[in-house]
Amino acid sequence: MRVVVVGAGLAGANVVEELRERGHEGEIVLIGAEPHLPYERPPLSKDVLLGKKETGDATVHDADWYSEHDIEVHTGTEVTSIDRERHLVVTSAGEQPYDVLVLATGCEPRRLALADGSGRPVRYLRTVEDSAAVKQALTDGANVAIIGAGWIGLEVAAAARLAGAQVTVHEMAALPLVGVLGPEVAERFAQLHRSHGVDLRLGVTVTADDLAEADVVVVGVGVLPRTALAEAAGLDVDNGVLVDAHLRSSDPDILAVGDIANHLHPVLGRRLRVEHWDTAIKQGKAAAATILGADEPYTRLPYFYTDQYDLGMEYWGSVGPDGYDRVRTTGDFSGAFRAWWIRDDVVVAAMQANDWDAADEMRASVGQPPPAESGP
């Protein structure tokens, strides 16, 4: 069985690694458009910007590892089409036949025409090159304008302030991260950044005049799944490639993983697409299991984390379209802090901040009744 993986990011790397770990002896081909071996993206907006790591430190495996595991890697190679009838992919370097194909093409940043046309230097943050360019711009005294108070925007804001830059964040919503955290906890993040000197402008529509004095503009207004290949091949696509509980697309010989997979979650009972490091790793491994015939549906709950200033946070679960009835919080956000989002007396999401010993307990609380009010 010849397995071809399109997308040499973290998800793709975990597919090929897990195939070999599970004893697959057939041919494996990994194709990536970037000129790099697979690497992890979270450090690009965290430790790399803070100067704690170099971009090379984020590489998953070195070239020798792929050679030793007999994995054929093509970097800097574009896949232009999928021929499902002939079971092959067409690339900028030729054709690659497959028995099973895995799509792990990831996402690309949403472009913002207002910023791009502002005449100021504009940066997006997705690749190692992007990270290096943003880091170079975060200097002492620089005037940094950030559009979007999501995870990327806030992590860049924290790194910029720690570098001594003046930072203004423009966000259309009433609070940062309010769509994920709700107002109860999102307000804490607003306070965190303002306490570190960020000019946080909420509920605003940014204009060209707002950017006129900026030395650099960093845009973090979300990403779009790269589904063009899947759409052109006739796969079912709707906010990502639609996959079942085992990560199979509408074509049983094609799977999708990571940022592009709109997954029918067997535990949550609905579809969701998760853009995070943990999902890339775990879905990559789950896809390998599916390829090799294991009946192991992907049931892991969504997970993400962030580091901002002296705050480290982990979040498990998903509030989803049905929302929540209430949030229970304990602790002090300036120290250790916990939060549970509750619907119908069941925890649908949980978070810890600076309370690392609570990680296992908080993860296990999702799907359970909330802890007693006399809890920690």
pLDDT tens for residues 279-333?
Answer: 999 999 999 999 999 999 999 999 999 999 999 999 999 998 999 999 999 998 8
State the Cα–Cα distance between residues 274 and 317, nearest whole angstrom. Answer: 11
State the Cα–Cα distance between residues 88 and 234, nearest whole angstrom. Answer: 14
pLDDT tens for residues 108-126?
Answer: 999 999 999 999 999 999 9
pLDDT tens for residues 30-39?
Answer: 999 999 999 9
The domains of the chain, with CATH numbers, are 3-108+223-291 (3.50.50.60), 111-219 (3.50.50.60), 310-365 (no CATH)
pLDDT (0 to 100) of residue 140: 97
pLDDT at 200 over 70: yes
Give residues with Cβ within 8 angstroms of 317, minimum separation 6: 301, 302, 341, 347, 348, 349, 350, 366, 367
What would the two tokens of residue 96 be? Answer: 């690659």
In order, the DSSP letters of 208-241 are GGGGTT-SEEEE-S-EEE--HHHHHTT--BSSSE
pLDDT at 272 over 90: yes
pLDDT at 374 over 60: no
pLDDT tens for residues 47-70?
Answer: 999 999 998 899 999 999 999 999
Per-residue pLDDT band for 335 (boundaries 50, 70, 90) equals confident
Cβ 106 vs Cβ 259: under 8 Å: yes
Looking at the chain, the whole-number percentage of residues with pLDDT higher than 70 is 99
pLDDT tens for residues 207-255?
Answer: 999 999 999 999 999 999 999 999 999 999 999 999 999 999 999 999 9
pLDDT at 375 over 90: no
Looking at the chain, the whole-number percentage of residues with pLDDT higher than 90 is 95
pLDDT at 376 over 80: no
